[in-house]
Amino acid sequence: MSNPTAAMLVIGDEILSGRTRDANMHHLAGELTKAGITLSEVRVVSDDAPAIVAAVQALSAAYDTVFTSGGIGPTHDDITADCIAEAFGAHIDVRDDARALLAAFYEETGREFNAARMRMARIPDGATLIDNPVSVAPGFTLNNVHVMAGVPSVFQAMLATVLPTLTGGAPLLSQTLRINRGEGDIAGPLADLAARYPALSIGSYPFQDNGVYGANIVMRSSDGPLLDKAMCELAEIFPA
């Protein structure tokens, strides 16, 4: 059986403007690979409610699991929670358990628990909270969508909470062969090899190193013996 599938929705004008470099996709991809969950699609949308709602609905229907990052803070442009609620037709308001977590945190740190910070306690009906051991403000899960912060340290901590609750498959294995020949020279034999091993993911990633043109051929599969067989055949076709 094939592994479960996942998608990621990255939310925020700062990503699309180039002001902020997204690190969460890289981390998520690595963790899902280890868990045997296939990350099949990543979308980036602006802080635009209709765009977020449409993307959430489409991804939720297409994949087993969806992860979002960004837009759950205390400012006016943090609209993700409202959009998730709208996407699933759920009512949203301040929830007692989330409010209690935040109230205790701000009392302990001596900061005011003001109206802006109260926004982070707004949770759609039917959602379960995602623990945030870094800065307390929780994420949440509604249906198959896990809503998490955009700050990398918080995203990573929330993901560590969510992953053990998901059903994974066989971890994806990877092997690489460096070939010091241009892609134009290797494309034909490589295509033939890929045709003989349709169950493998085979990619060619070109490089130029001190005037040498070549490609790293990366094979991925959850089937270790099949991966070994194909890699040996590749090495025979393109000996070092």
pTM score of the predicted model: 0.86
pLDDT at 1: 56
For the stretch 178-237, pLDDT in tens is 999 999 999 999 999 999 999 999 999 999 988 889 999 999 988 899 999 999 999 999
The tokens describing 91, both together, are: 């009512």
pLDDT at 2: 82
User: Of 140, 101, 145, 137, whose CA–CA distance to 123 is shortest?
Assistant: 140
What are the residues facing 204 on neighbouring strands?
A: 217
Q: Which helix (H) or strand (E) holds 55?
A: helix 49-62
pLDDT at 210: 85
For the stretch 146-172, pLDDT in tens is 999 999 999 999 999 999 999 888 888
Residue 166 CA to residue 65 CA, distance in Å, equals 9
Burial 187-209 (b: 16+ CB within 10 A, else e): eeebeebbeebeebebeeeeeee
Start and end residues for every CATH 3.40.980.10 domain found in the chain: 5-165
| HSE toward the beta carbon, residue 111, CA cutoff 13 A | 9
Start and end residues for every CATH 3.30.70.600 domain found in the chain: 173-237
Residue 62 CA to residue 57 CA, distance in Å, equals 9
The fourth-level CATH superfamily of domain 5-165 is: MoaB/Mog-like domain (3.40.980.10)
For the stretch 83-98, pLDDT in tens is 999 999 999 999 999 9
What is the average per-residue pLDDT within 126-138?
95
Architecture category of domain 173-237 in CATH: 2-Layer Sandwich (3.30)
The tokens describing 107, both together, are: 């009392």
Contacts 24+ apart (CB under 8 A), 197-201: 197/226, 197/230, 199/223, 199/226, 200/226, 200/227, 200/230
